[in-house]
Amino acid sequence: MKVSDFDFDIPRNLIAQKPANPRDSARLLHVDATPKDAAITDLPNILEPGDVLVFNDTKVIPSRLVGKRVNTKIEVTLHKEVSGSSWWAFARPGRKLKEGDIVEFARNFSAEIAEKRDNGEVLLLFRCGQQNLLDVLHKHGIMPLPPYIKRPDSGSLDDLDDYQTLYALKEGAVAAPTAGLHFTENLISEITARGILTAFITLHVGAGTFLPVKTHDTEHHKMHTEWGKIEQTTADIINEARNAGGKIIPVGSTSLRILETAANSSGVLQPFIGETGIFITPGYIFKIADKMITNFHLPRSTLFMLVAAFSGLNRIKIAYTHAINQQYRFFSYGDACLLEKGKMNE
């Protein structure tokens, strides 16, 4: 399909700069044949006992760094761990860097440019003495907010908590699974009290999720891969619920992508550990996801293509038009959608 098929306009004033406060005061657009306005706190009454909400328990690390090469300011955003001391990163301005350059971030904390690619991507070999790199990142790093959320170069302390789900457990993501930001302890308690099940997977979200699609046709776009894991216990919960007639509802595109990666052609979920680069566009046949919870996504993005595949391109465009007219808040810190599965031509 043409990437231009996934274009639309968003008023700038609808791009949320801060999350809802409290988290579970966010609105929820229930996207079915006709969009319905609701609230995230309505979920316990919308979903049915025996359904399963699948959460991504990845934890965001402060992976944006600001340093200097000689007298030039360099900003890097880590996106893919290679080893304990080396990461692929996006650098700005990348044209200023060459292999062998050293970028200084703080005293006794620097990185060598080991490799450089044409798209501003660099392989960083970190030098931080005897210290653990993650510990150093927590000291000097900044939360890697998407570029449409405006912050000073030094970041904001509020985002250390705001840009993290309450159930975040396993460090490794450089972007938050933002559909999960709406869930509070009270909301999860109400959900489980209703007999709705919860299960957890891990997918370390990469910064590639923010990259624009630069090709003219979706067939020519290459996804960055991300590391994920599904435990046997999680697979058992989901398979048993599915066999009993429960609906499988990923919370966020990251949960959906790893579930679809690990499910076989019959929709049976297998334990999984490894990389996934699954790219879901209209025409994809979903194997395991019955509904999904997600935020509103950027035009021409792989995430908008995914929700168009799930709900149907026409239906999702109608829903987004409704959301704009009703002043929903968009993107990472914005409101949520509950998507029912549709068809490509709906």
Between CA 253 and CA 165 the distance in angstroms is: 15
Determine the Cα–Cα distance for residues 298 and 295; give it in Å rounded to an integer.
10
pLDDT at 210: 66
Task: Find all residues with CB under 8 Å of 235, minimum gap 6, and list them.
Answer: 262, 269, 270, 271
Residue 154 is predicted with a pLDDT of 81
Mean pLDDT of all residues in 284-300: 97
> What is the reported pLDDT for 222?
87
Q: What is the rounded CA–CA span in Å between residue 17 and residue 15?
A: 6
Q: What is the pLDDT of residue 318?
A: 97
Domain layout of the chain by residue ranges: 3-60+164-340, 64-141
**What's the mean pLDDT in 98-114?**
96
Q: Is the pLDDT of residue 153 over 90?
A: no
pLDDT above 70 (res 345): no
The correct answer on CATH 3.40.640.10 for the domain covering 3-60+164-340 is no
Average pLDDT over residues 17-40: 97
Whether the per-residue pLDDT at 343 is higher than 80: the answer is no
- Percentage of the chain with pLDDT > 90? 89
Q: CA-based angle 310:314:320, to the nearest 5? A: 85
Nearest to 60 by CA among 75, 76, 74, 78: 78
Least confident of 8-17, 91-100, 164-173: 91-100
Q: Specify the pLDDT at position 40.
A: 98
Categorize the per-residue pLDDT at 346 as very low, low, confident or very high, splitting at 50, 70 and 90: low
The CATH code of domain 64-141 reads 2.40.10.240
